Amino acid sequence: MQKHRELRTRTHAAFLTQADAMRPTLYRQRVMPISVVNMIPDALTLHGWRSEVRFTPDQLSQQTFASGDEFIVDFGQHCVGYLSLRCESAGSPPDAPAHLQFIFGEISAEVAEPFSQYDGWLSRSWLQQEDSYLDVLPVEMTLPRRYCCRYIKVRVVSTSPKYGLRFPTFHLDTVSSASDSTLQQVQIADPLLREIDEISVRTLKNCMQDVFEDGPKRDRRLWLGDLRLQALVNYPTYAHNDLVKRCLYLFAGVTREDGMVSSNLFMQPQVIADDTFLFDYALLFVATLEDYVAATGDRATLDDLWPTARRQIELSLQRLDDRHILRDSEDWWAFIDWHEQLNKQAAAQGVLIYALRKGIQLARRCDNANIAWLETTLERVSQAALTHLWDDEQGFFVSGEARQVSWAAQVWLILGEVGDVAFRRQLLARLQRHPPMIKMHTPYMMHHFIEALLTHGEREQAVVEIKRYWGGMVQAGAETFWELYDPDNPDYSPYGSKLINSYCHAWSCTPAWLIRHFEL
Amino acid sequence: MQKHRELRTRTHAAFLTQADAMRPTLYRQRVMPISVVNMIPDALTLHGWRSEVRFTPDQLSQQTFASGDEFIVDFGQHCVGYLSLRCESAGSPPDAPAHLQFIFGEISAEVAEPFSQYDGWLSRSWLQQEDSYLDVLPVEMTLPRRYCCRYIKVRVVSTSPKYGLRFPTFHLDTVSSASDSTLQQVQIADPLLREIDEISVRTLKNCMQDVFEDGPKRDRRLWLGDLRLQALVNYPTYAHNDLVKRCLYLFAGVTREDGMVSSNLFMQPQVIADDTFLFDYALLFVATLEDYVAATGDRATLDDLWPTARRQIELSLQRLDDRHILRDSEDWWAFIDWHEQLNKQAAAQGVLIYALRKGIQLARRCDNANIAWLETTLERVSQAALTHLWDDEQGFFVSGEARQVSWAAQVWLILGEVGDVAFRRQLLARLQRHPPMIKMHTPYMMHHFIEALLTHGEREQAVVEIKRYWGGMVQAGAETFWELYDPDNPDYSPYGSKLINSYCHAWSCTPAWLIRHFEL
């Protein structure tokens, strides 16, 4: 266990009370199995397995299973919810307990590959499984935790030679705070874009729980970077704006002693700020608030939360050196993207500039006194980026002491509107013609690239990229969009195993916003 | 799974209602750990392990455990009950679930040897374990099942590098329907006999639950052969006579269609007769009823249950051939003892004669009309045993076609009082001078041998045998007496693994009755 530094936090009770009052209703839907399947190794599929129907749900309810037998139930869709089943004995009265093992998989590989071989560096406790010992049969069971799955593997570890097991009922009760009745319908002409929109919406829905979770399998937590994108997608889809408001109040409700918002919050047993503080995520609080106010015109929330937003800007400026460039460091100070080699300095400078622009929008609504200061600051840090980070010879922004050229740096400084439009359009074109070695690794980073294309008029190229990237997941069978997707490296995981990746992840649901907002 | 033959049963609702009305109170007692221990391989101890104190319970509550750590809690005594504990995180907020594994051991070997190596033929679901996945910390947990243990091994399978686990509270709430307040105190001069009595009483207590269970770890079920011996021990100890009555009504409450009582009953989800019917166990219903009536004088119960008792005798007589000797067979028709080579014929003839004598006692109290018939029958089957089973040359009763000589056959025919007292005393003496190859394997069979010694005046020899056999378990560290004990073969198990043996077993608690009833 790492040495824990004591974290001093400040709690804003009124904000937490406000957040608590907006706790959402969770809507339940029952989902029945569509079939019982076998998983067949298949090198042609993305994660190495395809499913093959073994029998129907009706046949499942009539089948008797002995020790060592197993079956994989396919629910036909990605679900977040609670498993209930009835288990009965067949044969003599059960003369020993029954031991059942349940394995839950968002994707086929999770139920096809043994967890015992897992060697990733994220805790193996994320692998979704449960062991049940049944002393009395028949029994109606609801497993204790919320699971995230399309597939459930049930293994009859042991009964006795005198009896077997039957499963006459088997279903999931899914939960989400998104209600289908509020989903806004739009006409999308392109069939693939329509499908991508649909999967984006499903991804968002399955992440909408008590808060906007990053991923319902993992981390099941409220992360600011994810929240900002989920909120954006929410406005033209479920429009559950109170859930965004709730999450903003939660972040403002527990901050570091100096007022910095955490990168993420735990909701249980009470609201706790994680001790991970990230430069870019804190600044995205400003952007999330601005998006919310723009979407809702909610002045009361703006008045409450503007001081928190402004504080993120103030704190971020402390990291500027006397050139007005962010000091770089080796530690875990900014996220930007999952990429081991990525230097974060230039991209973070872009995030700062982006947030300053959002801050100015907010100040114009409620804090005239601070407009001038923010505008001056924006001018300084933008100019500093052009002066100190731009490498004219290479035609790219560079980052860190090694003057690294990355996609992330270009994308964020373009989103920050550094340089004039012509300059930025040229940079976007160059980026695609001469792609830097340091690629984008996540749908999160890819979203920002597409947004940069769309805000610079590159609609056609944006559609090509959406279809290539998110369409690639669709083609690979995604029913919800994945935390991680590298078309060149299907098993990519920053955690050392594809089994632990999240396959329904908030930051991947943005095409619905891109398609709807930009009317693609 | 074995092919199940449909079992047709007859339910006597009034008897089950009567039994239900006598459902006992379960008394709870909290037991705290005495230490945290390591298990050290030690060839000199009976099951190959000895415990060594690692730290105190106070130290346990202050210790932080990381992924992969484990500890073994020692409660200092054999317990049957429910585990409760508090689990807290230490370090950063828990950023992944915690996965805990619990292993429960009546003896050290169960927590020292991995269950993964278990290869016995009884269902491995009897091995007591539990896996818990904790999404929210801190948590107060009570594990779902009743466990039977002195030791509990807790393995922190996984947390995350950011946090560890603490266990500030950890205790068992034991349950028993025996109340210490009713335990009859006796003076036992001999210190070893006193200790044996004490352990017998504890064994009985831990088996006294909703019914008299055979073993609280395994099978946790009401078996007739065990019930008879538990009831005997109960009279001069806890005198919880209503519990005996309850169990008699339960057996009479669900019988085979022809009226035969099952060898054992399941209590959940409702009273179910197991489809195992054993010749000797059914007859021991008669003996158990007679013992109960002798102890309590409860005439109403006698009137209710005598027809059931008499029916067992009637059914058993159907197995006699025209010589009045029981037909032998290869199937699972009588228990007698756990011994693969043992032929059951002669011993079962002894059980029949023993039960007939008990039946005559009962008929004399309530059914004069049947006395003569029972006495004639007794005379015939006793005489038949002497005529057809006695081998004068060898000086032993023989059993089956192969004319096998076993301890069990001699013991049961002596208990049946076949031949005159002098004959039986000579046979007992010969048995000890020329011990047959087919030995006794269980405390159950050993009990009957000691009872035979005591009812034939061999008090000194009986004490020697009790001290040798049960004293051997005491010396090996037993806190409750074991289902199986072969001094010559410490790891003996009829199930293929010592791990699955029961180490608190009803049929092994009889020394308390032998010592108290015969005033040893």
- Check residue A1 and give its pLDDT: 45
Nearest to B123 among A145, A159, A266 (CB): A159
Between chains, do A1 and B158 touch, taking CB under 8 Å as contact?
Answer: no
Distance CA A94, CA A116 (A): 30
Chain B residues with beta carbon closer than 8 angstroms to that of A268: 135-136
Closest residue to B99, CB basis, from A2, A125, A274: A125
Whole-angstrom distance, CA of residue B35 vs CA of residue A329: 48
Percentage of chain B beyond pLDDT 70 is 99
Facing residue for B97 by CB, picked from A94, A125, A160: A125
- Taking CA atoms, what residue in B is nearest to A272? B93
- Average pLDDT for B65-76: 98
What is the per-residue DSSP string for B38-80?
Answer: EEEE-TTSTTSEEEEEEE-HHHHHH--B-TT-EEEEEEEEEEE
pLDDT of the residue at B4: 55
Facing B275 at nearest CB: one of A66, A67, A92 = A92
Residues A95, B219: C-beta atoms closer than 8 Å: yes
Please, is B436 exposed, middle or buried when counting C-beta atoms within 10 Å of its C-beta (0-12, 13-18, 19+)?
A: middle
CB contact under 8 A, A162 and B126: no
- Checking if the pLDDT of A384 tops 50, the result is yes
Is B93–A266 a contact, with Cβ atoms under 8 angstroms apart?
yes
Mean pLDDT of A364-390: 98
Q: A39 pairs with which residues across the strands?
A: A51
Which member of B94, B135, B274 has the closest CB to residue A93? B274
Instruction: Kindly report the number of other CB atoms within 10 A of residue B61's CB atom.
Output: 14
Q: Write the CB contacts of B248 (distance below 8 Å, at least 6 apart in sequence).
A: B285, B288, B289, B292, B301, B305
List, for residues A281-302, the tens digit of each pLDDT value.
999 999 999 999 999 999 999 9
Out of A2, A129, A219, the one facing B161 most closely (by C-beta) is A2
Helix (H) / strand (E) element for B352: namely helix B345-366
- Give the per-residue pLDDT at A5: 62
Mutate to test the interface with B, among A80, A95, A157 (most CBs of B within 10 A): A95
In angstroms, the separation between the Cα of residue A388 and the nearest Cα of chain B is 37
Q: What is the pLDDT of residue B1?
A: 45
What is the tens place of the pLDDT at every residue in B361-385?
999 999 999 999 999 999 999 999 9
Tens digit of pLDDT for each residue in A229-278?
Answer: 999 999 999 999 999 999 999 999 999 999 999 999 999 999 999 999 99
A2 with B164: Cβ contact below 8 A:
no
Q: Closest Cα of chain A to B158: distance in Å?
A: 6
> What average pLDDT does range B326-347 have in this prediction?
96
Asked if B274 and A92 come within 8 Å (Cβ–Cβ), the reply is yes
Q: Which residues contact A515 (CB under 8 A, 6 or more apart)?
A: A188, A193, A196, A197, A200, A466
pLDDT in the model for residue A6: 72
Enumerate the residues of chain A whose CB falls inside 8 A of the CB of residue B93: 266, 272, 274-275
In 3D, which of B6, B158, B149, B187 has the Cα closest to residue B72?
B149
Do A93 and B266 make contact, defined as CB atoms within 8 angstroms?
Answer: yes
Residues of A in contact with B95 (CB under 8 A): 219, 221, 274
Say if residue A2's pLDDT is above 60: no
Task: State yes or no: pLDDT of B490 exceeds 90.
Answer: no
Paired tokens of B478: 């037993």
pLDDT score recorded for residue A358: 98
Asked if A1 and B138 come within 8 Å (Cβ–Cβ), the reply is no
3-state secondary structure of A51: strand
Chain A closest-CA separation from residue B282 CA (Å): 19
Contact A96 B220 (CB under 8 A): no
pLDDT at res. B5:
62
Residue range B122-148: mean pLDDT, rounded: 96
Residue of chain A with shortest Cα separation from B218: A96
Structure-model confidence comparison of residues A3 and B172, the more confident one = B172
Rounded to a whole number, what is the distance in Å from the CA of B2 to chain A's nearest CA?
5
Q: What confidence score (pLDDT) does residue A353 get?
A: 98
> For residue A426, which of A452, A465, A401 has the smallest C-alpha distance?
A452
d(Cα A425, Cα B228) in Å, to the nearest integer? 93
Mean pLDDT of A472-497: 93
Q: How confident is the model at residue B488 (pLDDT cuts 50, 70, 90)?
A: confident
List of chain A residues whose C-beta atoms are within 8 Å of the C-beta of residue B98: 125
Contact call for A131 and B126, based on CB within 8 A: no
Q: Do B220 and A135 touch (CB under 8 A)?
A: yes
Closest Cα partner for B454 from B446, B445, B463?
Answer: B463
**Whole-angstrom distance, CA of residue B499 vs CA of residue B108:** 10
Average pLDDT over residues B85-102: 96
Q: What is the rounded distance in angstroms from the CA atom of residue B321 to the CA atom of residue B517?
A: 37
Q: What is the mean pLDDT of chain B?
A: 96
Q: In sequence order, which residues have a C-beta less than 8 Å from that of residue A437 and are 6 or more positions away?
A: A405
How buried is B425 (Cβ within 10 angstroms: 0-12 exposed, 13-18 middle, 19+ buried)? middle
Q: Which of the four pLDDT bands, split at 50, 70 and 90, describes residue B46?
A: confident
Q: Please classify residue A76 by burial: count the beta carbons closer than 10 Å to its beta carbon, then call 0-12 exposed, 13-18 middle and 19+ buried.
A: middle
pLDDT greater than 90 at residue A341:
yes
- Grade residue A121 by pLDDT with cuts at 50, 70 and 90: confident
Percent of chain A with pLDDT over 70: 99
Shortest distance, CA A72 to any CA of chain B (angstroms): 21
* ipTM rounded to 2 decimals: 0.94
Which of B95, B136, B272 lies closest to A268 in CB terms?
A: B136
B220/A2 touch (CB, cutoff 8 Å), yes or no: no
| Secondary structure E strands in B225-294 | 254-256, 264-266, 272-273
Query: Would you state the pLDDT for residue A491?
Result: 86
CA distance B35 to B75: 7
Q: Using a CB-CB distance cutoff of 8 angstroms, which residues of chain A are in contact with residue B67? A: 123
**Residue of chain B with shortest Cα separation from A271:** B93
Q: A337 vs chain B: nearest CA distance in angstroms?
A: 20
Six token digits for residue B321: 């051939």
